[in-house]
Chain A
């Protein structure tokens, strides 16, 4: 099977989807391929901070300036993905006054609105801040839902004629001499919406121009055509707390260091992060001490975190890059700026550009620059409109918020649903059919689940990132099965079962790093529920190809009081069972 397109974008993260939207709005014919689901790479594994730029105001003022500009644009065009939380750079007594002053001056130099709060005032804003915090700088940081943002870009690209293929892995770059003219992809279940159990196929997609927007994976893609990009992937851990301890982004005001930010994210708070170089973005150790250290360090700022429940931890890989010869040792010091690598100029191979580095906050500006570049290559004269055109869901947000309609839902459910759906709320939630809450933790109703299924086929993880269903404190224990049954009767039993398996596995993966205290109780209840209602308790250790990764489980944090001794000795207990 072979198809042809004008521009082929590789990578379904925020950058790739942003580029696809930009080019499609300029009238180009675009195809985007993504190995897994949209956001499966770095986009879906970030802390959800929409930078004000304050974070870079001392070390990297160019990035800081760009951040505040894009921050303001995204509030306008992606209002339903952004929560205007505000942010604080909090100084503890042991943090340097000089740096605090530099930060404040840096913010002002970069045009970032900044205001000093006394310790008292900061605690009035955020009552769970430590008693001894000295003072804080208030900046317009915000929280962004990277899933919603990325999907909205993809949807708008599709609305402008783009073909988007998820679960389509690039297995070869097609190169003819010094020209790249397309790729070969392997479709997990054939082209189009994903449906489990459909046999895979391969497809050659030829294009006038190829954009490699695969971030941390850009080196691997380039290598398919014998090109070299020295991406320096750097992992960072993020831990999700069960509830929001803070409603403002809390940054530690000190030069650099791990574990210095808490971002309120939807119903949760995300702690971040660490910075450690890894060799393979698909295979790196996820270690218990990283989680422990982060909770301990951030507890200095927000002491309640010490005892608070975590629901999962995940690691993301930054697509860091620096020009050959820069030779920075510590990944923390590598610039967060992005680089457009034109392989014609760089390697004498035409038809391909790669984009590396950068961050989610500036995805739109990156996409604009790449799109300008592509248009120039193709001799197209069309200007960028992405800074002015709202994303689907963000049109007339103010009018929506003023509207009183709750679509028959209880108030917190209606409120959260409307925030997620933005201007699409009426279209999705207005229904004569019964509309029960499917995910109780996040307040997601059947109507919203069905809307997501219509968009993404039988892939329940794709439904999850569109709706947040199964992302709350039970981590899908109560709703995975119900979500799966919404696939019926459109999909048959076998498809529903494998879709369910895949979602449960994904939810389980992140919980392995949170199994102590309450989340351990939760996991046990989930287990019992799934065992008794769906007979899912076949002991995996008893099966032929027993491949439980016992070492991937954390042993628990010594500081936290486990609810039962099961938390303390979890690792041994599972070992014992596994030996039978």
Chain B
């Protein structure tokens, strides 16, 4: 409402106001009115029974309260969001559990954004810690410049102690190691794409983790796509925003998303489709961007973004190509990440693996790993995170395999943390099957670097 006192007797249609009363066309995400979304909820509570946090934490009221109930009880001027929203891990399982299309995670994301904006002091330890975790990418370039030093410092017990005491980051976990060469450094050194094609072109959204921590996954993607004759583009990119949604720092997420949408839309212009190797990155671009932001090309980018394996299954005969290939007796305990599950992709890895001779992949069930990105890194959520993960750990241990397999970087951290197994990405196994014995320079380079 305008604060400007205006004479009440102008009696003239308001068209002239256009000149001086700018209206924000797209509301900030934290100001969105999602009450109409509560219309779809008939309170069946299926979301609550599928919520991994509610299962282990009696204090957490569950997604039905966090979403449709809380929104419905809200009035336009209310700004006090219940603090329990910070206990939501943003696994988004409620979205796929809901039989009635309630926009649960959108409600949680906006409520969390509003909570952080209105109720959390920007000087609080929690806020600083959450921003630090959510913006891990900002620290990563520094660490990547001096990876060995960074790995050494992060591994020091003193660093962990400070992390826990000062910032509330659990000291129970090992910080992920930074690669000595990032994917983008490798890509530049390699001279970019080795295949050029006007028909088959993909823009690769590698995200932060595959760039700074597991470049072998990103390299696998490049080699697999080139094997199928695709030209790979690696556009400029920022964090996908997933950790920022989860921490309610929607302004940070908006900035990151804007950069990504702009760069990815340009790639679309160049005739590329977008693929991501991280299931949370693809989830974010496909679902959360259009739910929370309204940049010019948001919808086009979302509609043309794929999970990297899904894309090949749809556009190429990936299963046929894998048939007859072999990998030396490899057994995997496979965990489908929640964010893959939400995209309907939870079955694909098991199916593909069964096509490869020598590979045995055992699905460890549909439980959540419990880490949900930055969630399990917070001292106050560590126990909840491990309780949620218990089922997965048990199933992994009883599966006849000593190596884990998943598409999500933070799930892989949790799997490793809970079992001590080495964890692979689906693309790495596909690469091994398709390109085994294919001693090109990239591959040698990678082996030497190890």
Residues of A within 8 A of B (CB): 101, 104, 108, 114-121, 123-125, 127-128, 134-135, 242-245, 247, 264, 267, 304, 308-309, 410-413, 415-416, 440-443, 472-474, 477-478, 518, 521-522, 525
**In the complex, what distance in Å separates the CA atom of A242 from the CA atom of B61?**
22
User: Is there contact, CB below 8 Å, between B2 and A121?
Assistant: yes
Determine if B422 is an interface residue (Cβ-Cβ < 8 Å).
Answer: no
Question: Is B77 close to A, CB under 8 A?
Answer: yes
CA–CA, A525 to B43, complex, Å?
Answer: 9
Docked pose: A442 CA to B69 CA in angstroms? 8
> What are 27 A-B contacts defined by CB distance under 8 Å?
A104-B8, A108-B8, A115-B6, A115-B8, A116-B14, A118-B21, A120-B17, A120-B18, A120-B21, A121-B14, A124-B2, A125-B1, A135-B14, A243-B39, A243-B71, A244-B35, A245-B35, A267-B72, A412-B69, A412-B80, A441-B72, A443-B69, A473-B39, A478-B43, A521-B100, A522-B43, A525-B43
Q: Which residues of A contact B33 (CB under 8 A)?
A: 127-128
B441 at the interface (CB under 8 A from A): no
| CA distance in complex: A262, B18 (Å) | 27
B6 near A243 with CB under 8 A, answer no
Proximity bits, B103-143, A CB within 8 Å = 1, else 0: 00000000000000000000000000000000000000000
Taking the closest CB of chain A, its distance from the CB of B42, in whole angstroms, is 4
Residues of chain B within 8 A of A118, CB atoms compared: 13-15, 17, 21
The winner among A247, A411, A472, A477 for most chain B CB atoms within 10 A is A411
**How distant is the Cα of A250 from the Cα of B401 in the complex, in angstroms?**
65
**Cα-based distance from A412 to B79 in the complex (angstroms):** 10
Which A residues touch B71, using CB under 8 A?
Answer: 243
| Interface residue tally for chain B (C-beta within 8 Å) | 44
B11 near A473: Cβ-Cβ < 8 Å: no
In the complex, what residues of A have CB within 8 A of residue B65's CB? 410, 440
| Chain B residues whose C-beta falls within 8 Å of the C-beta of A247 in the assembled complex | 75-77
Which one, A443, A474, A478, contacts B73 given CB within 8 A?
A: A443
B-side contacts of A440, CB under 8 Å: 43, 64-65, 69
**B341, CB-defined interface residue at 8 Å:** no
A-B contact count (CB 8 A): 122
Q: How far is the CB of B329 from chain A (nearest CB, A)?
A: 50
Shortest beta-carbon distance, A85 to chain B, in Å?
Answer: 9
Within 8 A of A (CB), among B12-31: 13-15, 17-18, 21, 23, 27
Residues of A within 8 A of B100 (CB): 518, 521
Interface string of B30-49 (1 = CB under 8 A from A): 00010110111111100000
Q: Are A522 and B17 in contact, CB atoms less than 8 angstroms apart?
A: no
A123 and B450 CA atoms in complex are apart in Å by 61
How many angstroms from the CA of A483 to the CA of B27 in the assembled complex? 40
Given the known interface contacts A134-B13, A244-B35, the answer about A121 and B42 at a Cβ–Cβ threshold of 8 Å is no
Indicate if B70 sits at the interface (CB-CB under 8 A). Answer: yes
Not counting A120-B14, A244-B76, a sample of 4 additional A-B residue pairs whose C-beta atoms are within 8 angstroms of each other reads: A115-B8, A124-B23, A245-B35, A441-B72
Q: How far, in angstroms, from A474 to B72 measured CA to CA in the complex?
A: 12
Asked whether, in the complex, the Cβ of B35 is within 8 Å of the Cβ of A243, the reply is: yes
B residues adjacent to A (C-beta < 8 A): 1-2, 6, 8-11, 13-15, 17-18, 21, 23, 27, 33, 35-36, 38-44, 61, 64-65, 69-78, 80-84, 100
How far apart are the CA atoms of A489 and B442 in the complex, in Å? 78
Q: Which residues of the partner chain B approach A134 to less than 8 Å between Cβ atoms?
A: 13-14
In contact, B1 and A411 (Cβ under 8 angstroms): no
Q: CB-CB < 8 A to B18: which residues of A?
A: 120
Nearest residue (CB) in A for B22 is: A120
- In the complex, what residue of chain A is closest to B4 when comparing beta carbons? A121
Give bound CA distance, A416 to B70, whole Å. Answer: 11
Known A120-B18, A245-B36; judge A412-B41 contact (CB<8 A).
no
Residues of B within 8 A of A115 (CB): 6, 8
Residue from A116, A127, A411, A415 within 8 A of B10 (CB atoms): A116
Task: A115 to B10: give the CA distance in the assembly, Å.
Answer: 10
A518–B84 alpha-carbon span in the complex (Å): 28
Q: Chain A residues with Cβ under 8 A from B74's Cβ?
A: 412
Whether A116 pairs with B11 at a CB distance below 8 angstroms is yes
Contact B10–A308 (Cβ < 8 Å): no
Q: A243-B36, A518-B42 are in contact. Are A124 and B1 (CB under 8 A)?
A: yes
Contact B75 A121 (CB under 8 A): no
Write out the residue numbers on chain A whose beta carbons fall within 8 Å of the beta carbon of B38. 242-243, 473
Q: Which of A304, A410, A522 contacts B84 (CB 8 A)?
A: A410
Cβ contact within 8 Å between B78 and A415: yes
A412-B82 contact given A116-B6, A116-B8, A127-B33, CB 8 Å threshold: yes
State the Cβ distance, B209 to closest chain A Cβ, in Å: 35
Distance to closest chain B CB from A376 (angstroms): 42
Q: Is the CB of B23 within 8 A of A120?
A: yes
| Bound CA–CA A123/B14 (angstroms) | 12
Q: How far is the CB of A57 from chain B (nearest CB, A)?
A: 13
Complex interface: chain A residues within 8 A of B42 (CB): 473-474, 518, 521-522, 525
Residues of chain A with a CB closer than 8 A to B64's CB: 440
Which residues of chain A come closer than 8 Å to B23, judged between CB atoms? 120, 123-124
Report if A518-B39 is in contact (Cβ < 8 Å); known contacts: A118-B21, A247-B77, A410-B82: yes
A116-B10, A121-B21 as given contacts; A416 in contact with B73, CB under 8 Å: yes
| Cβ–Cβ < 8 Å partners of B15 in chain A | 118
The distance from the CB of B404 to the nearest CB of chain A, in whole angstroms, is 38
In angstroms, Cα B43 to Cα A474, docked, is 7
Q: State how many angstroms separate the Cβ of B44 from the closest Cβ of chain A.
A: 6
Rounded to whole Å, the gap between the CB of B41 and the closest CB of chain A is: 7
User: Given the complex of chains A and B, what is the CA–CA distance between A502 and B209 in angstroms?
Assistant: 60
Residue of A whose beta carbon sits closest to that of B17 = A118
